[in-house]
Amino acid sequence: MRGPRHRVGTRRAGMTLVVGAALLAVLAGACSERTPQRSSSSGGSLLPSSPTALPEFDPARFRQLLAELRGKPVVVNVWASWCGPCVVEAPDLARVAREFEGRVQFLGVDVLDQRGAAQAFVRRFGWTYPSVFDPTGAVRNDLGFVGQPVTLVIDSSGKRDFTWSGAVSESELRRELDKIV
């Protein structure tokens, strides 16, 4: 009688070990998913790695990104794929971003949108600069705005130099950037 009970106890111990190992693996995976990930593999930058990456940002993380970009002028454009004026300004933003590439960092904030529609929008207009995903509008609101599009020009010291609500024209944006570059 001792033999069969011993085998049952060994099986239970083995199952306990397997279940425990599985539980540890699940917990380790859950913890690693909560660990903040950098958007780019180049030096741990918060700057998204590609125009269509669209990582989700909250206001605090966006402020960290702007602080990281200090030392270079930045154009922040708040947009959405479903926004009519955003469609109007998109080709102009693409042209000016290419013209000032290397001298000015363009950065989009996609608000209240669906990620797939936003990625299609970026590809459609050939944007070469990254955007962050703001599904609730919290980043836009933290910047002090309630609608879109909005375009901000931030000088290399981090000070807002220019703000435009509505579709910004290529000539207006170029004129403002020529002042600070």
> What tens-digit pLDDT sequence spans the chain (181 residues)?
545 444 444 444 443 433 333 333 333 333 333 333 334 434 589 999 999 999 999 999 999 999 999 999 999 999 999 999 999 999 999 999 999 999 999 999 999 999 999 999 999 999 999 999 999 999 999 999 999 999 999 999 999 999 999 999 999 999 999 999 9
55 prior amide bond cis, ω within 30: no
Asked if residue 51 belongs to a domain, the reply is no
- Number of domains within the chain: 2
126 and 162 belong to one structural domain: yes
pLDDT score at 43: 57
What CATH code is carried by the domain that includes residue 146? 3.40.30.10
Asked if residue 23 belongs to a domain, the reply is yes
Strands, sheet with 131-134, edge to edge from the N-terminal-most edge strand: 131-134, 105-111, 74-79, 150-154, 160-165
- The boundaries of the domain holding residue 176 are 59-180
pLDDT score at 44: 81
